[in-house]
Structure 1
């Protein structure tokens, strides 16, 4: 019964396969081997198996394409529960399938477990003619033509072939044609092999040629090869380095590179010059790194020239600390300067110097002025009569304790404090200064005689309010009844408030004018005038009325008896009297002269 059921000629109907969308043809009848079940009850405690195996030799016609498609139906029939073993005639091999997880074996003979397919769909397999494997090799040291004598070289090889292929490798090491070492084996599942070579252990000397070759072979016997010749370099490169410090004054100081530590000032610039060479006459890499900042380095080939400034680090006093902390004593900063000189083979010479930053910066002076315990600002100026202090509390030195500093303070060109201690200089009373712009100079010196200075100006403004003084009055016009005169007054405000003022006589008042406030550099000067018609004799009572803009403060200035009004022009009457006496005097003189010339008779009629 089973023999009749599995007698077939159509490879697709039989549940086998389709080649390039076409059924395959039997070359000979299907071979069927049956293993019948044992005789007895169907349900039994004894173990036993039964089944069958069938095999067939199939042939298909192809064209010249190098990649072919083999499709295996997956419809859910019973025959698909049986593993399908496929043998491909050389030089064909398995290439790829999306159902790779259910395929195992070798490129020319593999098994497909169709029952484990997660979907009922055709299982497509790409096959093609065998090609030699592809081999690639990389090594530590990159593309260099040489390598160090004292060091291990790592060769990382990859041999790519069919997904079912497990290539073998053959490594050989030789020196001038003499094979010194070799190894064979299979590539792992990652298709790569790492080989380590120690030139000294393998008998190489400086100047020898390390020849290495690799052969990668697949299961068909096809192979690919790779080789490389590497010069063994056992000599380190040489170098010459010079350190030149140039101070802020332009003085050059040669530092001894043979010493482990180099002391430089924080305000100096360190110039570094490196010249290197190697017996291979190939470029030499020169690199200088430091921990003075993240990622700091300089590099070049053969020669390296650069300059750098080494400042004190974050461990010294600074604005990032609280006032109490920045007043403490700190240690100088230490930085590493590391030189690496590497030849083309990888031989490296390393040298490290300790850079000690010498204290060369004066104290940082941070002054501020307070008036009545409020910090002075453009919106909150110091005023006459305030309790004014010069405060230096926020100042600091980068390394010294603030108690080890000396201070000199000059006010308006007068040196009030000379080399006084911090205790005396921290807060200085300035309340005795009057209104005006004042200059302050501060000089601070640390224990290493490093100094810093700062100069600034600040103003003391007049008090708020009004203090008015009439400094001049002018009258235009005759001060007699019936005339109209113009009265003008010049007034100074000695305090800082702003307001308005007008001049009044009886019911007559001028327009309001602005009263400017006095400042630290000028008085609040203004002028006011009013036209007055003179209606009666005697003194005129003129008043100046003023009022503040902000607080409404007001007041009056009285100018009693500043103007006297008369009935006539006294100046004109005086002129007439003077004219009368002048004429009278002239007549008397003429009479006297006539009497002298002609005698008394001349005076008679």
Structure 2
């Protein structure tokens, strides 16, 4: 039973393919002529012939490896697929309940569509797995697209749904352990758990690096291993098959592999150190496309195709699945025993298979007017060469065909050559065009070679994938043109070499022929046949003012010609120019003008804006180039008729970066060079030079430091009324004059201290005693050129440090009344720059925690303090003041007197009270008298 199952699997495997990585394209229906499309009748059945519904179908062109249409799902078991590109196609069918299947179908445009019957195997069995707890396992079925994955549970068990009597390989991992186990249809399988196979090796040259391909046979498992000085890699342990380890170069296996069985440690040092003895596999062969007739607009035409191919086997074939494995493994898996090598029977089966599936259109090679050519292709001489030196070896074949095509109705004829990175693209293709036809244009013209009506291209030179296009057409004459090398305009020098260069251009490939004819003032003077010609007119008996006539005759391979004519003025005299120069000083001074044509030097003031304008002329009438150069700064250059720039003293004058003593020295005025070069169209040059002296226009630099008791004035070292204050000018300097040649003046608070003084008199100057306040100090310096600078500074004298509190006045809020409370306003002043604590007392009624405030250079601190009293006493109001300096500890007390006297409590109504009292007594006496007798005393 098991042998029968194996035989069925073998038969199915021959026609089963899995889909490689591919580029999805839209349907080419709109780009094909009607007779280039065919139909395919898809039929999907079970092994016992029952219908399968819901299968997904993918159609891949077996020569371009591109999808023919988008994958589609069948709603029935049998469906017709229309408008497909003709030729062999890989048909891949998948279904969630079945193992994948497929065939290669030759789609044609026959009336009876090709029937593609694909049989799928039901996934209806259970595989029980046991192994390390929580291990992951992935089953790859032979001939199937699926990878069935699972994770073992905590007891180390799991199940997978598999096809009955299927076959495949399980990769599992648990921690650092890996295993590769063959499944041959059994229901129970135990996974290994014995570490990994460690591959390691050391290169003799630690700077050497490379890539290895590690393959297992017969499982087909493989990985790439990068190494640099040494190699280290861990791979699955397995109880079956053997490992082949290859050196890889540019994706190709080179040399013979190191072969080993399963082991815990494998040393590959010998393989790493044995690379240079193996040559790299190479491609060979050539394709020829011969156009026997010209393709007329909208007309059919024929071409012949002949090709020889010899390709390294590592690139595989798109006729079989998994092209990346290389042809050896493809054939060994599809038609052999999967032992990693090819025998005669396997080669014979593949040769027959390839012969049964020739390409029917040229889309994988070339298209014409965006349409493939079609025809019967004869494939012969198929062979595989397994050279022990080359490693994977070569496979080769030859092709011949008569192909048919049809031109479109457009005005252009165009070849299209697809570039997909296919190995076959390394085989060059030569196209022989019809008589009197040529290449018109190609974006890839620099990568195309050829001569006459033939061109050759090698698509493997393309830096990107895409499409090469070559437009062809009836031969056209080239376009003749020429130019003077390193010259501009139409003038040439009399006494130096000139080179005239052909710029003949043609749309085709290959070289053009150039022939020159020369005339002097219209009379024949000679000829030549090079692409360029160098000559000196003076040696050919030309004179200044002559005209050189040049004629270029340009011809192509087909004898088509065009001509170019040129006339050049022979110029033996340099150009000249008139000049206008002006100076705009930075100070308030009128603009100055200079005549530079009559001298070789001139002087300008430092910092001035200099403008020079040249008005050049040349007897040839050509444009004159004007170049200005100067050493005023590195790389100073102007290419214009005019320049405008500011000229200052150079680096050899006194500057701030120098040591103080070095700034005091006498310096020379800076002298720059200025150069004007005039160049005419013939290259004749006229150079004028001037020395430009920079006059002293910069006043002295005054650096004034106000010193207090020998240190700079500032918040930490203020000037006080009794401080010694000095003016330090020692860091001052002039850019040109020595410091002793500078004249000084110093004015303090509008009073002259120094007038027309010397350096010794002002270098360190003691100022007069200064009062508290802000002062104005003005310093003047004048150099020998009359440049004057003024510096204004405002030294500040701060008040003395110790507090000095005194009274200003006393006031009372409202009228003070004896026995009544009130507020006495006490005004004090502090002439010191430190704060003081105050205690104020009125008749033993005291209040503390008053602060005097501090004086500044603007004046004393004056503050008024409210002294609250519970009751006023009789007599003049006086206040006792006690103060204590918070910083120095000094203190004192004093009494403030006033003329303010509190009133008694009845004092304000005394007159009223006396008047009322007198009136009351008088009235009393009158009443009493009447009561005594009624007699009046009067």
Q: Distance in 2 between matches of 1:361 and 1:145?
A: 50
Q: Contact 2:777/2:792 (CA < 8 Å) preserved in 1?
A: yes
Q: Give 1:558's aligned residue.
A: 894
Q: For the Cα contact (< 8 Å) 1:207–1:232, is it kept in 2?
A: yes
In structure 2, the residue matched to 1:444 is 781
Does residue 519 (structure 1) correspond to residue 856 (structure 2)? The answer is yes
What CA distance in whole angstroms lies between the structure 2 residues aligned with 1:122 and 1:375? 79
The answer on whether the counterparts of 1:503 and 1:529 sit within 8 Å (CA) in structure 2 is no
Is the alpha carbon distance of 1:290 and 1:500 closer, same or farther for their aligned partners in structure 2, counting shifts above 3 Å? farther
Alpha-carbon distance change, 509 to 127 in structure 1, aligned in 2, over 3 angstroms: same
Q: How many residues align?
A: 523
Which of residues 729, 738, 762 is equivalent to 1:392? 729
Q: 1:551 to 1:267 in 2, by over 3 A?
A: same
* 1:39-118 → structure 2 map (5 Å cutoff): 63=407, 66-69=412-415, 87-93=432-438, 106-108=451-453
Query: Is residue 218 of structure 1 aligned with residue 556 of structure 2?
Result: yes
Q: Which residue of 1 aligns with 2:472?
A: 128
Q: Judging changes above 3 Å, is the alpha-carbon distance between structure 1 residues 565 and 205 closer, same or farther for their aligned structure 2 residues?
A: closer
Match of 1:323 in 2: 660
What is the deviation of 1:183?
Answer: 1.8
Q: 2:648 & 2:493 partners in 1: Cα distance?
A: 39
1:228 CA displacement = 1.9
Deviation of the 1:467 alpha carbon: 1.1
Task: Decide whether the 8 Å contact of 2:605 with 2:697 is kept in 1.
Answer: yes
8 Å Cα contact 2:543/2:570 also seen in 1: yes
**In the superposition, relative to structure 1, how do residues 182 and 557 fare at CA in structure 2: closer, same or farther (>3 Å)?**
farther
Give the structure-1-normalised TM-score: 0.68
1:152-210 deviation per Cα after TM superposition (whole angstroms, max 9, x unaligned): 3333433444675122211222223323232213xxxxxxx443343322332233222
Look up the match of 2:880.
543
Superposed CA deviations along residues 292-339 of structure 1, whole A, max 9, x for unmatched, are 3567666766xx5x7654221233222344434434443321222223
Distance in 2, matches of 1:25 and 1:347, equals: 71
Listed as ranges, the gaps of 5+ residues in structure 1 are 1-8, 27-53, 186-192, 576-605
Equivalent-residue separation in structure 1 for 2:802 and 2:901 (angstroms): 36
Structure 1 counterpart of 2:528:
183
| Offset, 1:348 | 4.0
CA shift in 2, pair 1:320/1:173, >3 Å:
farther
CA RMSD of aligned residues (A): 5.2
- Alignment counterpart, residue 234 of structure 1, candidates 572, 593, 604: 572
CA contact (8 A) 2:429 2:456 kept: yes
Map of 2:244 onto structure 1: none
Q: For the structure 1 residues 475 and 226, does the alpha-carbon distance in structure 2 shift closer, same or farther, using more than 3 Å as the test?
A: same
Q: 1:263 aligns with which of 590, 603, 609?
A: 603
Match of residue 484 from structure 2:
139
User: Is 1:457 the equivalent of 2:783?
Assistant: no
Change (3 A) 1:100 1:268: closer
Q: Does 1:250 align with 2:589?
A: yes
CA distance 1:181–1:534, change in 2 (3 Å): same
Q: Distance in 2 between matches of 1:212 and 1:448?
A: 64
What is the distance in 1 between the residues matched to 2:769 and 2:682?
Answer: 79
SS at match of 1:363: coil
Cα drift, residue 365 of structure 1:
0.6
SS in 1 for 2:539: coil
1:351 matches 2:688: yes
Equivalent in 508, 515, 526 of residue 170 of structure 1: 515
In the TM superposition, what is the alpha-carbon distance from 1:460 to its structure 2 partner? 1.0
- Matched-pair contact (CA < 8 Å) for 1:537–1:564: no
Secondary structure at the counterpart of residue 833 of structure 2 = coil
Structure 1 residues 14 and 260: alpha-carbon distance in aligned structure 2, compared to 1, 3 A threshold: closer
Aligned mates of 1:240, 1:122 — CA distance in 2: 61
Using the TM superposition, give the Cα deviation of residue 392 of structure 1 relative to its aligned residue in structure 2, in angstroms. 1.8
| CA 474–224 in structure 1, closer or farther in 2 if over 3 Å, else same | same
Give yes or no for contact 1:146–1:233 (8 Å, CA) kept in 2: yes
**CA-to-aligned-CA distance 1:258-282 (integer Å, 9 cap, x gap):** 2222123326555645444444566
1:231-278: per-residue Cα shift (whole Å, max 9, x none)? Answer: 233344443335455664636766553222212332655564544444
1:375-415 residue CA offsets vs partner (Å, 9 max, x unmatched): 33467643334443322233221123334434332222333
Q: Deviations over 1:439-489 (max 9, x none)?
A: 212122334454322222221111234111224445688888546676444
Distance 1:55 1:456, change over 3 A: closer
- Tell me which moved more, 212-221 or 497-506: 497-506
Change (3 A) 1:128 1:522: same
Match in the other structure for 1:22: 373
**1:201 aligned counterpart, secondary structure:** helix
Change (3 A) 1:153 1:383: farther
TM-score normalised to structure 2 length: 0.47
Shift of the 82–143 alpha-carbon distance from structure 1 to 2, 3 Å rule, reads closer
